[in-house]
Amino acid sequence: MNKINYQKEFEKIISSFTSKPNLLLHSCCAPCSSYVLEYLNNFFNITVFFYNPNINIETEYQKRKEEQKRFIKEFSNNEISFIEGDYNIQDFYSAIKGEELKGEGSIRCKKCYTFRLEKTAILAKKNKYDYFCTTLSISPLKDSQVINKIGLELENKYNIPWLKSDFKKKNGYKRSIELSCEYNLYRQNYCGCSFSKLEAENKNREN
């Protein structure tokens, strides 16, 4: 099946704008959000939704959350809004039940994306945002085809427009590394859940 270029789809959407719509943007962490916010800030009024109960322990969760808030403050002088979701790790374990050991990029991650994006869609609908989206597609380890498919399914389910996108394009990942250095952002070496931490440690041992 042919892959869809979601950067091109994004460009089609923004080409019709005459003013800045309101966007609820799920963010997984400050480094991934850095380029995405730099880019999207040109086209949208943005609220960042930090909803990540997948993060393995609370100290790590708080660290990533505080970095997210610091980046928003330093980058936009708090012009970009911030909302924190609930941190209940049991919700994550319930969402991925039965798929725990499938590995990064598997059905486990698909369920994890759906779990976090569904909450984002519901909040976007409730608070009458024009679009909802996520930073997740910036990671080279995350398939933008899968993420956009989930977004579009949720668009249909909740009747709230999904912002088609692929933030890896236009050298987005490279730019996020530059911005992370510029703002001295904490860059974790695993995705977030306890399984991904173990997988990263095993990979390091093998190398």
Our finding on whether 23 is near ligand SF4 (CB under 6 A) is no
Task: Please tell me whether 29 is known to bind a ligand.
Answer: yes
Radius of gyration of the chain, Cα coordinates, nearest whole angstrom? 16
Binding residue for ligand SF4, selected from 25, 80, 112, 138, defined by CB under 6 A: 112
Minimal distance, residue 139 CB to ligand SF4, in Å = 9
Two structure tokens written together for 140: 């080279």
Our finding on whether 104 is near ligand SF4 (CB under 6 A) is yes
Our finding on whether 54 is near ligand SF4 (CB under 6 A) is yes
Our finding on whether 109 is near ligand SF4 (CB under 6 A) is yes
Task: Please tell me whether 133 is known to bind a ligand.
Answer: no
Our finding on whether 139 is near ligand SF4 (CB under 6 A) is no
Main-chain phi, psi angles of 130, to 5 degrees:
-80, -30
Our finding on whether 193 is near ligand SF4 (CB under 6 A) is yes
Minimal distance, residue 101 CB to ligand SF4, in Å = 11
Compute CA 30 distance to the chain's CA centroid, rounded to the nearest angstrom. 10
Q: Which residues make up each annotated binding site for [4Fe-4S] cluster?
A: 28-29, 109, 112
List of residues contacting ligand SF4 (CB under 6 A): 54, 96, 104, 108-109, 112, 191-193, 195-196
